Chains A and B, each alone.
Chain A
Amino acid sequence: MMMSPTEKVNPMLQLPHAQFSQSGPEPPTGREAAPNPAPKDAAGAASPEPAKADAVDDRIVRVRDLHLYYGTSQALSAVTMDFQRHQVSALIGPSGCGKSTLLRCLNRMNDLIDDVRTTGAILLDGQDITDPALDVIELRRRVGMVFQRATPFPKSIYENVAYGLRIAGVSRRAALDEAVEKSLHRAALWDEVKDRLRESALGLSGGQHQRLCIARAIAVNPEIILMDEPCSALDPRSTTRIEDLIAELRGEYTIIIVTHNMQQAARVSDFTAFLYEGALVEVGPTKQLFTKPQKKETEDYITGRFG
């Protein structure tokens, strides 16, 4: 029914790149050779910020030919794509397609699993984060993560938010107080919990738990926030609040969200990537991907014909 992944992906490699790259100088990244002149209107339309001067590369993360194996089974094959700075990118695809795995590569969460092997490169501001010698702790401070299941630590609300700072060595009361308040404000949780910061975080509701986890991630001031199906365990109302929150955080943080829910991807993201069976099928500005998918598989998936 489909071509083998390698045959299929190769021609596509050019596509996301072409759409995403601004007309800046292309750093040498091995396989990606010549910069493709992009149809500027596509990227420009999706991005609220106009393309800046090329002092800062707008592609904060560049994934290049990433292969990942769990033991002998391959979970990602030849993924090459970029993530835009200060934008929301969504990863969609059927279960087991590797979108969470890809997400977890970005802060090396897969290190925790035995028997994981990767090849290829992931460049975060030009630095390859798949390098075994990399300081993973430092990386995870720059790339925060929110999980599918909210896991507030069995501590007070205050200590949950302050956790990341404390382990980073911040112990000044005033600094912690300020960061906690700011993060809770940003996570739209402050008004609900300001009077009970010292109470256990376990007493909050499920939606509040997830916002607390977002506040916890924000507190260490990361550049990127990874969200792994953050709303899949929440009711519609809490989901709306999280989505509003994502919209608010956009522009300040780079957000990469994995979701099963295509409406959600359409609502919150600027760019969407569709993965299938460990390979990237298509990536593009969200509007375009949902209205004019370039690939038949994408169209089939978003119209619900398979998956």
Chain B
Amino acid sequence: MINGLGVFWPAAIVEATLDDGRTVLGQWMRTETNPDTGVESVQLKTANRDFDPQRMDFHWYPAPTIRELVLPGDVYVLERAENGDCYGFLVQLTAPTLELPEGGTPDEQLREALAEARRRRADEITPIARQLAALGAELQQTRNAILKLEYRARHGGFTGSPSRQTSGIVEEGPNSGEFGYRTGPNSGESGYAGRLAELRAEESRIRQASDRLVAQKGALEADLRKNTARFRLASGQVQAIALLDVVRAYQPNSMSWTAKVGHYLAKVWELLSEEPRESNTEGGLFPAIFGTVMLVFLMSMTCFPLGVLAGVYLGEYAREGALVRLVRIAVNNLAGIPSIVYGIFGLGFFVYGLGGVMDRWLFPERVEAGIPTYGTGGILWASLTLGILTVPVVIVATEESLRTIPRGFREGSYALGATKLQTLLRVLLPMASPGIMTGFILAMARAAGEVAPLMITGVVKLAPNLPLDGQAPFFHLDRKFMHLGFHIYDIGFQSPNVEATKPMVYVTTLLLVLIVLAMSSVAIYLRNRMKKRYQARAM
């Protein structure tokens, strides 16, 4: 975790001259001594993965072979959109399609050129990308409409109200809907044919429009890509790097302290606000942060009311008997079940059970086309699964804190002519609320860190869309989502380039802990306010 704090600090780049005459540039990572030979080795992050003969960005060098170490002031670190960082010395800037002010040192010119390229991309390419996304959504809607239409035609419901016929759906072949036409028995109807033709025309219009935009975007990018900077690498070879690919360029060895702080803050901001790049090893974590927080919120919305209701029922209403005792034992034991078991339950009950039924009733046309909507993992099912995982804690806390309220308060309320419900709502629950909140905080903290059940109920390593966005109906609870905990697992243990992902693992872990801490702090703050307000002094 402490490691996570330092990841974004611009580290110095050393230039090492080796015995065999080679020079290498790299970030000093660590030294290790071989226990057998006693030889010390140094690990350098040499970056330049795409130019390296072994396609690696980390190398070990035996310490005795290093003849000289210097800190070159003018070395550049280029964060690139692909292939990781590049370390090198600026040779020459070639910017034929950029309008740049004359003069200045080469370093200043490079900075200008990068800024200009970035501005051009924001002005020209980003709007096109946005249009493309909108067209994609439109296309999806049109395809859904076509599916629906074809389905209704097949099941004879086109002229009437939408048919709820569900028989035989599962037996229908999959993949019939995406592109393949399937003329239903009612295709002769002019209304159906006309509407279908309309939709088809719409579909192809959208496709053409988006093809045009893709071409336009490609051309603009190619034009901007002509602007390159040539860098001399440690090996001596000179490489041209397109300015468009450079996310950030800086000279760590000659940065002032304030510049380093600025760089650090910029990187932190990127982490919090941007999407991940390079299979999650670089860039931001925003979708994962968002997914985690939203998951916990949805989970709270299930587990809190459910737990409080169940706790109140068990504590106040249920008549003490064998059944209630059994339920209580079961609830207490639920808290000890491994979370993966909950995940399997969630998969079987929510995803396949509930989700399958919902799909069959709400989107029969999509089921027939083999496209599940709710019948596959999604944030809704994941949060419900976490909800039942955490609900025992809330139940126990509710029951316990209701039980510890002195009897006098109940009697005082009843003696004034209050009903059981009024007493519960106006006196007992407010008094029990700090205790209930304590249970809820525990539940939330557990849920936020839970990964295993999510892996089979809807978390993914890279989700194209957030579960909450500007497109109606805004909440897309069927969508898959990203999660910090799973992110750690994915980049830490599933990535081919373990060394490169290490910093991100540290950072993500730190962030996850901070988020859990933040959410718990809010809940604790609320609880303390309630305590002040509602908790009677010892009576």
Query: B-contacting residues of A (Cβ < 8 Å)?
Result: 107, 109, 112, 137-138, 140-141, 144-145, 147, 149, 151-155, 163-164, 166-168, 200, 202, 213, 216-217, 220
Scoring B residues 510 to 539 as 1 if CB is less than 8 Å from chain A, else 0, what string do you get?
A: 000000000000000000000001111101
Contacts of A149 in B (CB 8 A): 406, 408, 539
B534 with A154: CB separation less than 8 A: yes
Residue B274, interface by CB 8 Å = no
Question: How far is the CB of B405 from the nearest CB of chain A, in Å?
Answer: 10
Given contacts A144-B415, A147-B411, A153-B413, contact A202 B536 (CB under 8 A): yes
| Nearest A-chain residue to B430, judged by Cβ | A154
A220 with B417: CB separation less than 8 A: yes
Residue B263, interface by CB 8 Å = no
| Nearest B-chain residue to A226, judged by Cβ | B415
Residue of A147, A155, A164 touching B417 (CB-CB under 8 A)? A164
A112 with B410: CB separation less than 8 A: yes
Residue B447, interface by CB 8 Å = no
* Interchain CA distance A164-B418 in the complex, whole Å: 7
Question: How far is the CB of B417 from the nearest CB of chain A, in Å?
Answer: 4
Stretch at the interface among B61-69, B209-217, B419-427, B450-458: B419-427
| Nearest B-chain residue to A216, judged by Cβ | B416
| Nearest A-chain residue to B425, judged by Cβ | A167
Q: Could you say which of B413, B417, B422, B536 has the most chain A C-beta atoms within 10 Å of its C-beta?
A: B417
Question: How far is the CB of A257 from the nearest CB of chain B, in Å?
Answer: 15
B410 with A217: CB separation less than 8 A: no
B417 with A138: CB separation less than 8 A: yes
* Interchain CA distance A153-B426 in the complex, whole Å: 9
Question: How far is the CB of B198 from the nearest CB of chain A, in Å?
Answer: 58
B409 with A153: CB separation less than 8 A: yes
Question: How far is the CB of B6 from the nearest CB of chain A, in Å?
Answer: 48
Scoring B residues 285 to 305 as 1 if CB is less than 8 Å from chain A, else 0, what string do you get?
A: 000000000000000000000
Residue of A107, A168, A202 touching B537 (CB-CB under 8 A)? A202
B406 with A151: CB separation less than 8 A: yes
| Nearest B-chain residue to A114, judged by Cβ | B320
Given contacts A112-B410, A112-B414, contact A167 B426 (CB under 8 A): yes
Residue B229, interface by CB 8 Å = no
Residue of A109, A138, A152 touching B415 (CB-CB under 8 A)? A109
Query: A-contacting residues of B (Cβ < 8 Å)?
Result: 406-419, 422, 426-427, 430-431, 533-537, 539
B537 with A167: CB separation less than 8 A: no
Given contacts A202-B536, A202-B537, contact A147 B416 (CB under 8 A): no
Q: Could you say which of B406, B407, B415, B539 has the most chain A C-beta atoms within 10 Å of its C-beta?
A: B415
Contacts of B411 in A (CB 8 A): 109, 112, 145, 147, 151
Contacts of A154 in B (CB 8 A): 427, 430-431, 533-536
Which 3 A-B pairs have CB atoms at the shortest separation, nearest pair first? A145-B415, A141-B417, A164-B416
* Interchain CA distance A153-B408 in the complex, whole Å: 10
**B contacts with A: majority SS:** helix
* Interchain CA distance A155-B431 in the complex, whole Å: 10
| Nearest B-chain residue to A113, judged by Cβ | B407
Contacts of B406 in A (CB 8 A): 149, 151
Given contacts A164-B417, A167-B422, contact A213 B533 (CB under 8 A): no
| Nearest A-chain residue to B431, judged by Cβ | A154
Given contacts A154-B431, A167-B426, A200-B533, contact A137 B409 (CB under 8 A): no
Contacts of A155 in B (CB 8 A): 430
Contacts of A144 in B (CB 8 A): 415-416
* Interchain CA distance A141-B415 in the complex, whole Å: 7
Given contacts A140-B414, A147-B412, A149-B406, 12 further A-B contacts (CB under 8 A): A112-B410, A112-B411, A147-B411, A153-B412, A153-B426, A154-B427, A154-B536, A164-B417, A213-B412, A216-B412, A217-B415, A217-B416
| Nearest B-chain residue to A142, judged by Cβ | B417
Question: How far is the CB of B3 from the nearest CB of chain A, in Å?
Answer: 47
Contacts of B430 in A (CB 8 A): 154-155
* Interchain CA distance A220-B416 in the complex, whole Å: 7
Question: How far is the CB of A165 from the nearest CB of chain B, in Å?
Answer: 9
Contacts of B534 in A (CB 8 A): 154
| Nearest B-chain residue to A104, judged by Cβ | B411
A140 with B412: CB separation less than 8 A: no
A140 with B431: CB separation less than 8 A: no
Question: How far is the CB of A114 from the nearest CB of chain B, in Å?
Answer: 8
Question: How far is the CB of B421 from the nearest CB of chain A, in Å?
Answer: 10
Contacts of B413 in A (CB 8 A): 153, 163
16 A-B pairs (CB sep. < 8 Å): A109-B415, A112-B414, A138-B417, A140-B416, A141-B416, A145-B411, A149-B539, A151-B412, A151-B539, A153-B426, A154-B427, A154-B430, A164-B418, A167-B419, A202-B537, A216-B416
